[in-house]
Amino acid sequence: MDTTLDDPLVGRVLDGRYRVDARIAAGGMATVYRAVDTRLDRVLALKVMHPALAADAGFVDRFIREAKSVARLAHPNVVAVFDQGTDGPYVFLAMEYVSGCTLRDVLRERGALRPRAALDILEPVLAALGAAHRAGFVHRDMKPENVLIGDDGRVKVADFGLVRSVDSVTNTTGSVLGTVSYLAPEQIESGVADTRVDVYACGVVLYEMLTGSKPHTGGTPAQVLYQHLHEDVPPPSAAVPGLAVGLDELVAQATARNPDLRPHDAAALLGLVLEARAQLGDAELDAVPPQARAEERSSAEDRTGVIPRPVSAQPPVHHTSRLEMPPTPPPATHRPASASSRLPRLPRRRVLLVIAGVLLSLGLGTGVWYISSGQFTKVPNLLGKTEAEARSQLSAAGLGVKGVERKFSDAFDRGTVMNTDPPGGKRIRGNGAVTITISRGPQVIAVPNLEGRPLEEAKKELANAGLAPGIVTQAFSQDIAQGSVISTDPKGGIKRAPDTAVNIVVSKGRPVGVPSVVGLPADQAKASLEGLGFKVETAPEQVNSPAAAGTVANQSVSAGAQAAAGDTITLTVSKGPRQLPVPGVTGQDVDVARKTLEAAGFKVKVEKPFLSFGNTVDTQSVPAGQTAPEGSTITIKTKGL
C-alpha cells in the first residue's frame, strides 16, 4: 500500500512554489518529500519539520538561523540547501534531491562491504564533514541513514543544520539529540558535542560497513548507551577474520572513548584513512566479507531521538518518551525475585564490609586467599617494547589489551610502549586487560638531511623519524649520483609535526645530449646511442619514409635534447619511400605541371634550353603511368630549337 496517499501534504503547493509529489522518508524530527520548484521547474527534496517542533517559536527562529548558515556550506559531498520557508503550520527546507539510496539501504541489501568500497564511501563523507568542521558546524547525528549514494555514484552527507538547531534546545533540558548506536560517550555523559563526536560516529559507521553489523547491540537502547560508555568498539577483524590490522587501527583511533585520543576533526581522520589505504595491498582492499546481511529490523537504536543524560543526583524518572541509562550492566539472565532482593538496598561500601565480615566469621581462609591473591597476576613491564611485543607478553601472562592510545614522547622511540594502565608490576585479575600507550615520537621532528642518500634508504629514514615520504620527482644533477636524493621539501633540519609528508627530488644523473641518428643504418644507430649510456628499443612496425630501407626514420627523443643515462630511446626503422604513380604533365604550362607533380608527392626540377620558346612542358624524366619513390625528383623540360 502506498502510504503517501494518506499524507495530507502530498499534492499541496507550499509557499506558493513547491509542489509536493511524494513522501520519501520519515524520521524523528521531520518528513522528507520529493517536490518540484514550480518557478525553476526543478526537482528537489523538501524536508518538513514535524508540527510539534514547528510549534516552538524559539526553535523555529534558531532553525532559520542555522538553515541560513548551512546554505553557505558549499561542498560537492554535502546535500545543498536552496531555500527555507514556512507555510501555515509547516516549516520546511528546500534541498538538493539525490536520486539513489542511503548507505543504510546498501548495508541492508549487501551486508558487509569490501574494504575498498567502505573506504570509497567513507572518504567523501569525511571530506564533507571536514568542510563543515572548518566552517564551525558539528553534524551530531552521523549514521548510514544520512549518507546518500546517488545513482551516479556520488556520495553526499545529509541533515546538516537541523541536528545542530534541535541540540541547542535539548541541551537546556539535560538531554541530547542523536541515534543511540552512534553516540559518543561524552554526548551521553554530559551532552558535549564538538567535532570529535562526528569522528566517533564515523568510526562506528566504518565498523558497520566492514562487518555488516553495529559494534554495540542490546535488547534496549539503554543497554547500547551503557556499552558506549564502558566498552571499547571491538576490532572489525574480530567479527571478520582476515581484515587488515590497519583497518582495526582506524576504527580504534576514531572510536576511542576518551575524545582527546581521537583525531581532532574529520579532516584529520581523512588523513589517517588515506594513509591507511596507501599501506593496504589490493588483496587486503578487495577482501571478500562474509555474505551476512545486516539486521532488517528498524528499532529505536536506528532513529534520531531526544535522550536524557544520566543524572546521578536524581532517581530515575519513568517516561515512555525518554530512554534511561542503567545504573549497572544489564543482567545476562532473568532471575525470580528472592527474599534478599526485596530487602532495602545497602550502600555498596556497606555491602562489601558485610560480605567480608561474614567470610571472616566463617573462617573461609582459602576463599579469602583466592579472592585476594589467587585470581591476580602481575602486569609485565612493557616500556620500550613494540606494540606487537607488548601484545605477545600480555597474552602470555593471560591478560588482554583493553585499548591502544598514542601520544607524543621525547623519551620513547616512535612505535614503542611509553606507558601502561595499570603500570608494570601492578597486580590485576588474571583475566584482566591493560591499556597500552604507544609513542608517536617527538611532537616536533627535524627533517633528516637526506642529500646523496639512495631513494629507498631515504624513505626508510623518513619513516623511522616519524615522517612520511611525499611526492618524488626527478631532475638532472652534475654532482649527485643517479637514483640518489638531490633535495627535500622541507629541507633537512626544518622541524615539522609527525607524519608530515616530505617531498623528494631524485637525481637523474648528468644530462647527456642526444645525437641525431636518423638516416643511419639501424644497427649503427643503436650502437651509437648505447655507447652514450642509453637503452635502445626498436619499434615493432616499420614505416615508409624518404630514408633508405633499413635506416632510422625516426627517434623518440629529438636530436639535441638532454636525457639521462639509462633512459630509453625508441628507434623507428624505415622500409623505404612509397612508390607513387607519376602523373602526365606534358603539354601543360610549367607552373601548372609543377603544382601537379608536387601534389602527387614529388619534387620538381625545370629545365629550359638556351634557345627555347613558350612555357609548355615538352618532356618529363619519368613517363606518365610509371612509379617513382615518394619525394624523388621529376625533371620537366620545355621545347627548344
Q: Is the dihedral of CA 117, 120, 123, 125 positive or negative?
A: negative
**Which pTM does this prediction carry?**
0.48
Domain 511-573 adopts which CATH fold? Trypsin Inhibitor V; Chain A (3.30.10)
Place of cell 592510545: 405
State how far the alpha carbon of 493 is from the alpha carbons of 108, 444, 446, 454, 488, in Å: 53, 11, 5, 19, 11
pLDDT of residue 292: 44
Strands 427-429 and 376-378 turn out to be: antiparallel
pLDDT of residue 640: 67
For residue 421, the surrounding DSSP H or E stretch is: strand 417-421
Structural class in CATH, domain 101-308: mainly alpha
Structural class in CATH, domain 579-640: alpha beta
Task: Tell me the β-bridge partners of 93.
Answer: 47, 84
CA distance 148 to 145: 7
Query: If 0-12 CB within 10 Å is exposed, 13-18 middle and 19+ buried, where does residue 582 land?
Result: buried
CA distance 388 to 392: 6
CA distance 253 to 403: 10
pLDDT of residue 641: 60
pLDDT of residue 376: 64
CATH of domain 445-507: 3.30.10.20
Start-end of CATH 3.30.200.20 domains in the chain: 3-96
Strands 495-496 and 445-446 turn out to be: antiparallel
CA distance 461 to 148: 42
pLDDT of residue 211: 95
Cell of 261: 585520543
Residues belonging to the active site:
141
Largest CA distance in the chain: 151
Quickly count: other Cβ atoms within 10 Å of residue 541's Cβ: 8
Q: Is the dihedral of CA 16, 20, 25, 26 positive or negative?
A: positive
CA distance 287 to 113: 9
For residue 254, the surrounding DSSP H or E stretch is: helix 245-254
Structural class in CATH, domain 3-96: alpha beta
pLDDT of residue 338: 32
Block means of pLDDT (10 residues each) for the chain, length 641 residues? 65 94 82 94 91 78 74 86 89 90 90 94 94 88 92 86 41 52 87 90 96 88 85 93 94 94 94 94 87 45 51 33 34 33 37 36 33 60 91 88 87 88 82 89 87 94 90 91 93 87 92 93 94 93 89 93 91 91 93 94 89 84 91 88 60
pLDDT of residue 573: 95
Query: Are the CB atoms for 106 and 149 separated by under 8 Å?
Result: yes
- Angle subtended at Cα 37 by Cα 35 and Cα 38, rounded to the nearest 5 degrees: 115
**The domain made up of 377-439 is a member of CATH 3.30.10.20:** yes
Cell of 194: 564538538
Start-end of CATH 3.30.10.20 domains in the chain: 377-439, 445-507, 511-573, 579-640
Reported residue count of the chain is 641
Quickly count: other Cβ atoms within 10 Å of residue 354's Cβ: 11
456: amino acid identity, one letter: E
